Amino acid sequence: SFEEYKNSYKQSVNDPEGFWSDIASTFQWKKKWDHVLQGDFKQPQVKWFVNGKLNITENCLDRHLEKRSKQTAIIWEPNHPRDQPIHLTYAELHEKVCKYANVLKENGAKKGDRICIYMPMIPEITIAVLACARIGAIHSVVFAGFSAQAIADRINDASCSMVITTDGMYRGPKKLPVKDTIDSALETCHSVKKVLVVQRTAHPIKMEEGRDVWVHEEIEKVTSDCPAEEMDAEDMLFILYTSGSTGKPKGVVHTCGGYMVYAEYSFRNVFQYEDRDVYWCSADVGWITGHTYLIYGPLLSGATTLMFEGVPTYPDAGRFWKVVDKHQVNIFYTAPTAIRSLMASDLSFVRNYKLNSLKVLGTVGEPINEEAWYWYFEHIGKKKCPIVDTWWQTETGGAMISPLANITENKPTFATYPLPGIQPVLLDKNGDEIKENEKEGYLCIKFPWPSMIRTTYGDHERCRKTYFSSYKGYYFTGDGAKRDRDGMYRIIGRIDDVINVSGHRFGTAEIENAIDEHPEIIESAVVGYPHEIKGQGIYAYVICGDHVPEDRGRIREEIIAMVDEQIGKIARPEKIQFVENLPKTRSGKIMRRILRKVAEGNTSNLGDTTTLLEPKVVEDIIQGAVKLESAV
């Protein structure tokens, strides 16, 4: 109940060590911790469950075998709907992970080694992740779609000794090479000694003798007996690279104990997961959402988790909903970007399906605009499913501010309340806490939580500068937020996305919400650019379907009128550029940093673009910006 939430939250603030100790005690430990928490944000050096010993895979798999051995752990839905799905029970998954772990050991992997995983969304990617954790190797999953250079950068930064990959992959109607990309990357990666290849597409590939081996052949040589390696709670579990404003990606480090405790706790509470529910997170394992809420959180909770190899629009825009009905999905978690793209399709693609199994909907990756929230609520949830609009980051490890399904209130565009154990604050520009409600400020966290970033791999000073130097004693999220009269939080965008027009501060999401209500606009992105009179002007990039419309003048005037009406004339976009696509990471996040540089006319150094889904989009936008400027 909401009362229980409030009581739990109060306890977590008054006695955080006692609160997290109680939760951590529900897991299987090889040795209990000596201290719950050591350190603070000043150094920053934070340790959770100090000297505790465990293996996260024993908590994901072994401890469930007595009661759940025959329960489905993973449902895999393949790219093409005509292909057969795969159901793996907890017993089957345990056996496969143990065999895979033995293959890793037979090929030279050991505790502490870094292993790069570059694979599509097939069951083997989950098995590979867990096999690494089983033997104490550190997994670094790289999204199967990154360029050879992007892979090489990540392999070299972590000095990976092994790569796990596939021959090829299916994505929508396409059959794409994967191993070829790895081969190109490894031309400049001298730390890699072995490449393990999973067969998926029978794509012809080169196998380098002495380095490359087929996994299906190696599996035949090993047993399923693989005791879990004992790990310290603060040993590294994985490195996950996230793009930075410089050309070098940041390797965010998460550790075994605290990450495990928070992944399970947040999964179970945000979604209010109940025994035997079918849960589907549509994120790729290459992103933190896929780590925490597709693999670790669900399996730690003894849940049934669904993996999807394909894309939401193949073979048509009803594929998500077909999968929901086919597998009777109860909880569905996806990105606002996916929702908006499906909104653009005819509603018949939704109406063809019942969707009556759904109980909870969720969103992740960016704030969801009001129009998309209502479309999701009405057409997918049939006005009966709560929407958990989760705010968190790669660096936080798990959801930090979010509704708890059917417990805390839903409010469109609001992430609502912090989870117990999370202490957010709003700071003003001087770094002072804003105590009052109905205010906005810089969103920071003032007390450690178990799944927080420990360091950036090989460069702790970068971690300190990025997250802990802006406001002493606080973790700086980089986001701005508003708090309403009830204490609910609304994320208004990255601080560097807040636009200051003549002294008035506007969050990008606020203006984008207004623009997106235009019936012909599918999606928009707003940035600020230098304005000699106002300080900053507003530059809007808008998408109208799959083409740039002829009557841009009319739509431009209508956009301005809508912004005038909903926000005020002060928020009018000075420039509106019609584009066919926006530069997005493969997790669906709009790279406003790039859009801002284009708007400023500063395209000589766009920083790290390796995480973009379609790099060519940037060139098209630059050319369009030049035409717009010359027309003005």
Amino acid at 506: F
Q: For residue 180, is pLDDT > 80? A: yes
Per-residue confidence (pLDDT) for residue 551, from 0 to 100:
85
Q: For residue 333, is pLDDT > 60? A: yes
**What values do phi and psi take at 52, rounded to 5?**
-70, 145
Kindly state the average pLDDT of the residues 252-262: 98
Spatial neighbors of 39 by CB under 8 A, at least 6 apart, are 45, 46, 47, 448
To the nearest 10°, report the CA torsion of 348, 353, 359, 363: -40
Q: Which DSSP state fits 464? A: I
**Cα separations (Å) of 239 from 67, 159, 459?**
32, 12, 13
String of b and e for 396-424 (b: at least 16 CB within 10 Å)?
bbbbbbbbbbebbebbbbbbbbbbbbbbb
Mark out the alpha helices in 122-162 (DSSP H runs): 123-135, 148-158
To the nearest 10°, report the CA torsion of 329, 330, 336, 342: 40
Tokens 């399906």 correspond to what residue? 353
- 3-class secondary-structure state, position 107: coil
Spatial neighbors of 373 by CB under 8 A, at least 6 apart, are 363, 387, 389, 412, 413
Q: Per mean pLDDT, which range of 42-51, 488-497, 537-546 is the poorest?
A: 488-497
To the nearest 10°, report the CA torsion of 343, 479, 257, 8: -90
**Cα separations (Å) of 507 from 32, 81, 444, 496, 504?**
45, 41, 17, 10, 10
For 192-254, what is the HEC assignment? CCEEEEECCCCCCCCCCCCCEEEHHHHHCCCCCCCCCCCEECCCEEEEEEECCCCCCCEEEEE
**Higher pLDDT pick, 37 / 520:** 37
pLDDT tens figures, 396-418: 999 999 999 999 999 999 999 99
Q: For residue 503, is pLDDT > 70? A: no
pLDDT tens figures, 556-599: 999 999 988 777 778 899 999 999 999 987 767 788 889 999 99
Q: For residue 496, is pLDDT > 90? A: no
Spatial neighbors of 273 by CB under 8 A, at least 6 apart, are 267, 279, 298, 301, 303, 331
Q: For residue 394, is pLDDT > 60? A: yes
The CA radius of gyration of the chain, in Å to the nearest whole number, is: 24
Q: For residue 533, is pLDDT > 80? A: no
String of b and e for 223-236 (b: at least 16 CB within 10 Å)?
eeebebbebbbbbb
Kindly state the average pLDDT of the residues 126-140: 98
Tokens 């299987």 correspond to what residue? 28
Q: Per mean pLDDT, which range of 129-143, 380-394, 452-466, 483-497 is the poorest?
A: 483-497
String of b and e for 34-64 (b: at least 16 CB within 10 Å)?
eebbeeebeebebbbbbebbbbbbbbbbbbb
Q: For residue 245, is pLDDT > 60? A: no
Query: Which domains are delineated in the chain?
Result: 2-430+445-469 (3.40.50.12780), 498-631 (3.30.300.30)
- 3-class secondary-structure state, position 535: strand
Q: Give the span between the Cα atoms of 328 and 322, in whole angstroms.
A: 10
Tokens 């798999």 correspond to what residue? 61
Residue 186 region by backbone torsions, left for phi larger than 0, else alpha for psi between -120 and 50, else beta: alpha
Q: Per mean pLDDT, which range of 85-94, 311-320, 541-550 is the poorest?
A: 541-550
Tokens 């759904």 correspond to what residue? 358
Amino acid at 153: D
Mark out the alpha helices in 15-113 (DSSP H runs): 16-24, 56-60, 65-68, 90-106
Mean of all residue pLDDT scores within the chain? 93
The candidate with the shortest Cα–Cα distance to 332, out of 341, 320, 342, is 320
Q: Per mean pLDDT, which range of 229-238, 353-362, 372-381, 544-553 is the poorest?
A: 544-553
